Structure 1
Amino acid sequence: MRPDPRADGLDSVATRLQQMFETLGRREKDVAREILRDYPISALTTVASLADRSGVSTATVLRLVQRLGLEGYGEFQEAIKGDLNRLLHSPSDRLSAFQATEDKASPFLQRMLERSAGNLTRSFDGVVDADFRQVVETLADPKRRIYCIGGRYSHHIIGLLVDYLGVLRDGVQMVSGQPDVWSRYLLEVDARSVVIVADIRRYQRTVQRFCRLAAERGASVVALSDPWAEPGDFGAEHLFRLPTASPSLMDSYAVPLVFVEALVGALAERLGPALKARLAECEAMDCIETDLRRAWPGTGKQEE
């Protein structure tokens, strides 16, 4: 039996709908699409209004609510409001809830590792894999220029991605500096560009705006985010909603980090023998750099 999703305090109605989407009937899918269109705002309405916007009967809406494991539309609305509260809460707010509800019977490290392992296991499905393989094919195209940008807490993951991708191929750029100067990157963006963004709640608005403007200029936007994100938040062609639940008061970046490592590994595998000469050249340059550092340690002047 599948565990009750409500047992995970950071799981959401949107996540459950996404996981069960392919098992829904045609009319139920219409309701699910309407709920996910601008979640959670799109779900904060009456049953009659949601049914009307979805083009279905109220009975279909209530049937979907029941399939979510919720007892009536009132409980559905409470679940939506809970998701909205978690989205808006600051770390200090979450600390109070965390201290009040977290089970401390087992060691913290054990709880952290078990939650991370569960997040990783839940991350894979056929839809995610199909999109993942398509993104890898896009990144393997040498005609594509790649721009990478991260939010206030996720920029370190993007920095790692830029370093790794730069080893594998040319044309990889980190969007850095103050948001006021990001327009110079946008001037370069066109239909041959790929923007990879990592950002989770509380989303950085300047990052979202950059991505949407890049999409308007024709770029393909690949977003790594959390279960609450929607494609329109980033103008994303591909959105990977990755679990970030954690026994800590802070969100976990374990799954996004592994996802980035998987992108790099899959791209290296895709490039195959063509990558071998590039890596050999990089290694030769590393040796030259080491020799230079040995000759001019620290000060930049040759040793006497």
Structure 2
Amino acid sequence: MTDTDLTISDRIQLELDSLTRAERQLAHSILENYPASGLGPLAQLAKDANVSAPTVARMVQKLGFKGYPEFQTELRKELRAKVKNPIAKHDTWAEGAPSGHVLNRFTDAVIDNIRHTLAQIEPETFDQACALIADPKRALYIVGGRITHTLAEYLFLHAQVIRPAVTHIQSTSNAWPHYLLDVQQGDVFVIFDMRRYENNTLKLAEMARDKGAKIILFTDQWRSPVHSISDICFSGRIVVPSAWDSVATTLLLVETVISSIQDINWADTKDRMEGLEDMFDQTKLFRKFT
């Protein structure tokens, strides 16, 4: 993977452990409003992060840029990509489409997205997220948006079998504030929010956070505004040769979460599965081949 494949956020995450205290403070300041942060003068970025101008210059070079102007150019490119609508995205791909069949081109893009995303995930962080999601002492709320509600529902249907106290909230519904009434300190919110980020989702996350909930966010490489208040954030690559973004990488993560949480409390999960299968048999919902 080349440096051109990496977003500035990726570069910061890779370099975070090698940064000085002041540089790390600057990095967190940039990520707070990424990628819009850093578009102003160098002196303003330094002031906002409460660091010196030389600190900004040094960190920009550590991220692989010759200077602040080159750093800003890359930020502007990422910002344009972040706000693209489906028609604009399609035009970009159509101009330089490879000659291979779409099956191969699309699959290559998805595989690259998966590899890039997994390279950025710490196994310990993933395990921590799964432990929170599986904990039956914590109520679990799952939230998606206009498109990502399909991912939320997929996780919800499985989590509902695996553990008790699971709620699916659709942030596109006007009734979502009702669900916050029973939220307790330490409850868990799994939130899906990808570009063209939804205002309802951010407001819901803020209100849940105010009630002491833990927030696990699944987002894209540019990261939803929810990331600034999330406890754990998984940023998946989503760009493919299509007018639409791909959720294949995020779905892979979701299915891996499901696999993990079913094993954490397997004895209780097995009992729930057996109970559900018994009800299926009674209702004759599915055909049985004997």
Alignment TM-score, normalising by the size of structure 1 = 0.86
- Counterpart-to-counterpart distance in 2, 1:291 and 1:181: 30
Q: In the alignment, is residue 94 of structure 1 matched against residue 93 of structure 2?
A: no
Q: Which residue of the partner structure matches residue 185 of structure 2?
A: 191
Aligned structure 1 segments of 4 or more residues deviating by more than 4 angstroms: 230-234, 291-294
Q: Which residue of the partner structure matches residue 3 of structure 1?
A: 2
- Counterpart-to-counterpart distance in 1, 2:111 and 2:182: 40
Q: In the alignment, is residue 220 of structure 1 matched against residue 219 of structure 2?
A: no
Q: In the alignment, is residue 65 of structure 1 matched against residue 45 of structure 2?
A: no
* Matching residue within 218, 229, 235 for 2:223: 229
Relative to structure 1, the CA distance from residue 266 to residue 47 in structure 2 (aligned partners, 3 Å threshold; closer, same or farther) is same
Contact 1:153 1:199 in 2 (8 A): no
Matched residue SS, 1:221: strand
Q: In the alignment, is residue 80 of structure 1 matched against residue 75 of structure 2?
A: yes
Contact 1:212 1:234 in 2 (8 A): no
Matched residue SS, 1:124: helix
Matched residue SS, 1:42: coil
Relative to structure 1, the CA distance from residue 96 to residue 145 in structure 2 (aligned partners, 3 Å threshold; closer, same or farther) is same
Contact 1:197 1:224 in 2 (8 A): yes
Greater mean alpha carbon deviation, residues 215-224 or residues 137-146: 137-146
Q: In the alignment, is residue 259 of structure 1 matched against residue 245 of structure 2?
A: no
Residue type of the partner of 1:38? N
Matched residue SS, 2:118: coil
- Counterpart-to-counterpart distance in 1, 2:260 and 2:118: 15
Relative to structure 1, the CA distance from residue 115 to residue 155 in structure 2 (aligned partners, 3 Å threshold; closer, same or farther) is same
Deviation at 1:240, TM superposition (A): 1.2
Unaligned runs of 5+ in 2: none
Relative to structure 1, the CA distance from residue 16 to residue 292 in structure 2 (aligned partners, 3 Å threshold; closer, same or farther) is closer
- Counterpart-to-counterpart distance in 1, 2:280 and 2:228: 37
Contact 1:147 1:194 in 2 (8 A): yes
Q: In the alignment, is residue 41 of structure 1 matched against residue 36 of structure 2?
A: yes
Q: Which residue of the partner structure matches residue 18 of structure 2?
A: 23
Cα distance per residue 1:134-156 (max 9 Å; x no partner): 12212222121111110111111
- Counterpart-to-counterpart distance in 2, 1:53 and 1:250: 35
- Counterpart-to-counterpart distance in 2, 1:29 and 1:183: 36
- Counterpart-to-counterpart distance in 1, 2:280 and 2:119: 39
Cα distance per residue 1:39-85 (max 9 Å; x no partner): 12321121222234434443332232223332321121111111111
- Counterpart-to-counterpart distance in 2, 1:90 and 1:180: 25
Deviation at 1:257, TM superposition (A): 0.3
- Counterpart-to-counterpart distance in 1, 2:228 and 2:199: 10
Unaligned runs of 5+ in 1: 295-304
Q: Which residue of the partner structure matches residue 116 of structure 2?
A: 122
- Counterpart-to-counterpart distance in 2, 1:176 and 1:289: 28
Q: Which residue of the partner structure matches residue 14 of structure 1?
A: 9
Matched residue SS, 2:239: coil
Q: Which residue of the partner structure matches residue 289 of structure 1?
A: 283
Alignment TM-score, normalising by the size of structure 2 = 0.90
- Counterpart-to-counterpart distance in 2, 1:79 and 1:292: 54
Matched residue SS, 1:258: helix
Residue type of the partner of 2:80? N
Q: In the alignment, is residue 150 of structure 1 matched against residue 150 of structure 2?
A: no
- Counterpart-to-counterpart distance in 2, 1:292 and 1:31: 57
Q: Percent identity over the alignment?
A: 28
- Counterpart-to-counterpart distance in 1, 2:99 and 2:15: 32
Q: In the alignment, is residue 111 of structure 1 matched against residue 110 of structure 2?
A: no
- Counterpart-to-counterpart distance in 1, 2:151 and 2:85: 21
Larger Rg: 1
Contact 1:221 1:238 in 2 (8 A): yes
Deviation at 1:231, TM superposition (A): 6.2
Matched residue SS, 2:97: coil
Q: CA RMSD in A?
A: 2.4
Residue type of the partner of 1:15? D
